[in-house]
Structure 1
Amino acid sequence: MSDKPSMAEVENLDKLKLNKTETQEKNPLPSKEMTEQQKQAGES
C-alpha cells in the first residue's frame, strides 16, 4: 500500500463520520503592542 490514498478512497469518504475538533494555538505570536514594549524595554 502506498503512502498516498487513491482518489477513489478520497472521493468516497463519508464526511458525516468525521469527528468535530476544536483547534487551539499552543504558541501564539505576540501582539504588535507586546513587541513594541519589548523593544522599548531593551533600549533603556
Structure 2
Amino acid sequence: MSSKPSVAEIEKFNKLKLKKTETQEKNPLPAEETIEQKQEGES
C-alpha cells in the first residue's frame, strides 16, 4: 500500500472531527507610522 491516501479515502474523510484553531501571526508587519519614521531616519 502506498503512503498517499486514495481519492476514495479523502472523499469519506469526516471534516467534523477536525479541531477549530485560531491562527496567530508570528511575525506581523510593523505599523505604517513605524515604517515612515524609519524611512525618514535613513534620509
Other-structure match for 1:20: 20
Identity across aligned pairs (percent)?
Answer: 60
Please, which runs of 5 or more residues in structure 1 have no aligned partner? none
**Structural RMSD (CA):** 1.5
Tell me how many residue pairs correspond in the alignment: 42
Shift of 1:28: 1.1
Give the TM-score normalised by structure 1.
Answer: 0.70
**Counterparts in 2 of 1:5-44, with a 5 A limit?**
5-43=5-43
Please, which runs of 5 or more residues in structure 2 have no aligned partner? none
- Would you identify which runs of 4 or more consecutive aligned residues in structure 1 move more than 6 Å? none
